[in-house]
Chain A
Amino acid sequence: MEELKKGGIFTISDMQNVRINIGEIVEEEEEWEPMGPHPMPRIATLRDWDFKLLNRYKPFYAPVCDMCCLCTYGKCDLTGNKKGACGIRMDAQQARIVLLACLVGCSAHCGHGRHLLHDMINKFGRDVPIDFGPKVDIEAPLTRLVCGIKPKTIGDYDRVFSYVEEQIVQLADALHTGQEGSYMDFESKALHMGMLDSLNKEAADIIQIACYGMPSGFPGDGPDVPFVDVGIGTIDTNKAVIIVIGHNVPPSADIGVFLTENDLEDKVELGGICCTSIDTTRVYKKAKIVSALGRQLRVLRAGIADVVVIDEQCIRADVLELCQRTQSPMIATNDKAMHGLVDRTDDDPDKIVDDLVSGRVPGVIILEPDQVGEVAVRTALQMDKKRRSLKFILSDDEFKYYVNDCILCGGCTLACPNGLRIGEANKSAVAGNIKPLADLFDICVGCGRCEQVCKKHIPIVDVMTKAAYPQLKEEKGRMRIGRGPIWDSEIREVGAPLVLGTIPGIIAPIGCGNYPNGTKDAWLIVKEFAERNYIVTLTGCMAIDCALWKDEEGKTIYEAHHGRFDAGGVLNIGSCVSNAHIHDAAIKVASIFAGRPLRGNYEEIADYILSRVGACGVAWGAMSQKAASIATGFNRLGVPAVVGPHGTKYRRAFMSRPDIKEDWKLIDATDGSEVYVEPGPQDLLVACETVEEALPMMAKLCIRPSDTDRGRSIKLTHYIDLSQKYLSTYPPDWHLFVRTASDLPIATRNELLKKLEDEQDWKIDWKKKKIEEGPIRGYNPSFNPTNLERLIRRKK
């Protein structure tokens, strides 16, 4: 027998054309931790946990559409929770649509991760080690937790993706007509999908960190990562400009390599939109972040790109049309977004460049990432010369003509997702005041629906851009590049203060830019919590948008705050897939600080996080299906999330009822006694109308039953203070969170005790400054909260 070849293939001597394939060789795994109860959970494995959540945080539905159009029995009118022809009720149908959204989101991250793994194995082999340096021992908390696998090389992620893919298919199957009929079970499945999605994200980011040497746990990484320029104004248009859009970094990384190897770094600007831009700066230090998703249309219309390179996700469906409008050749690099172009992978680069530069083709597909760099750079250099004289910003005369042409019909307002009163701003511009139009630029989400209904065919997006152009040229922010994992050493430092409550919480602004009132709200959220010593961890478009604003000293929020995972830190974790490291931080608190076993032990860790880790996500501009699955994944792990008002269009929320006492019964794991507790966290998914309302809400959602009295007093201070600052009132429910007088902030203790006495009829012993009667429960420093009976140590 000849030697064993890679992949389990060997040949037998003297027997030609005989090959035996023994499939995967499973090596004996190092014993690193006993396996927990739920490795690689299937649909029903964690259903009991889901139902515990769903019984407290009962699904709330607000349909966007009252009908079901999914099969030919229909359309069915489900208004008023009627049943359709198949027997499904409106509530279950809404839950089904939520599962569908989570399926799409989860598939996007899984597809992205799998695609990345293929490309990386192709380029570097399966054996790239997962070694994140001396600061990160628990390299893949979610992988360990969900799969029970401790990955050593990127090849180990084959098993992880196979597991996720199988589960996705089973969950998608449940969407078919005549399958699931219970909204609760649809939601359990959505939570399962959300958990899988978090696993996908971790897998994808670990693979790219390992292969590209992105920041992780080595000296110079973590809190010490370098800064990068952000904003349209940072792009030097005197150079050739390549704009990359999407989420999958290998093609952009290849552009960086080509620029470096050919000494072209000072001749070509590489800028990006959305998460690809964040990840590109993690591999190519001269890259810049042009904008988040919300400005994609306007950046493309501004015509600054000599070449546009797209990969996957969050790319406008009309991107090719936009590129043609500004004579910017487009290169599609991913089979999920090919836009009708011709696949030129493996063609002679000279011919491809010539076809693009001559304009014979508007764009090409190149599916091999390592072929993208040369074509993109050479094309950009030639197009730069060709396009230099072209102008895409409206002239003063054109601007004047268009604003004068507006007939104030209001069609644009009815088409606008934010209902912007564009006609009124045009009217002001006619009168010589362009500020209202310029102000709309930031509030506009950049969809372009207004232009399609304009009876006068006014290019409204261009008109708005022209009005805002003087500010836009100066839009120059700074942010730290995505740091990836939180260090184990940082968790050791903050684990206790987080669980005890003396660091009041982790605030995680994540996701898209579909804001109700512009990017400044993203900045305000970060600023308010960082200044109050919360830890603020950002990913994706919110991480970009908050870097566009500066304080009185001219500093961006990243420049004004340190980047450590510690009180007052403002951390750019990275792209969408990097937000798995925020899950990971909470998981590591349970593992490193509390010593809870991780391996295949999802339920126990989620139970721990729900009751003890004061973390709250905020997806203020959540737009995509990925955002739906991301939030749902956070929710299953016990982390609540706040969304902006557009988030109600996801149809489903998870809110509790503090007035229903039975919903708030926990178990003290120390002796098995049942304890009625305060509603912390009150909701798992809730929308706020304005950022002013969201700020105190987030502070409230960081309150946990495990808080010490000192921790609770700090959290209450912020909750009350933010309510007074932004709502001009005490929160109506602050008393629910008071267990003892020492839960009250010292500075205002007497005043608050008086309010409790006067407004809530609580009995106060004023001599001892003690609460005698009133709270839901007293403070018990050894309270060991759990929702799981199996964790009771000793029954009373």
Chain B
Amino acid sequence: MTSVVGALVGFIYRVFFLKGEEGFRLASPWVKLLFLASSLYLLTRQGFQPALANIATVLALSLMWPGFEWFTSGFLISLIPAFWFSATAYVSWLLGLPGVSFTGALNILVRTLSISLTILFSASTISPVRLSNILLRIGAPSYYPLLVWRTMPYGMRVLLDSVQIGVMKGEKPHKRLAPAVAIMLEYGRYVEEYNWFKFEGKPAAPLPSRGSVKHTLILAVASALEIALGALFL
């Protein structure tokens, strides 16, 4: 059980928090939206091929950035809902209840995998710095995205440490939530104390954010390709 929890935490860390302000996070936000829209457009087409094409595109992009570790972790995490949905639908069919045949289950597997990978990839390209600047523009506390991306990996490590120590002590993983929460509460108290002027003050200007023409172009080409494939599969 611990190794499952540990593996899941590791996958989530690699998918969302492995990289800093680089790669596709520096691509134009409009092109990121375009890519998301083109992926969803491709997925509106019937059959395996459009979904497989989208999976191949997302995985190819992920190998460019964030890299191989994202590729494997993102793929494995996406397989969880994909297998769950397809297997339950198929088993249901086998039991004579409303469900789908083997081919239908395979279709569910591929399409869920495709949707999940698209969502994970798009989420990992969100730039906390740009998000922070948007919040600053609308007058909201702009430190939120920075703090969330800063704190989540810390919280995940604490939870993992706590669960693993629990196993050494012969305890079940669920019993270890309380110590992890206690540490995060303490973390919150200290962060509030030492950063009070950052929370109560307001930045005089948006954070400097770089753009990457290279990554914008790659994402734009990938979007164009998906739209073309979508038209082809019509």
Whether both chains belong to one complex is answered with no
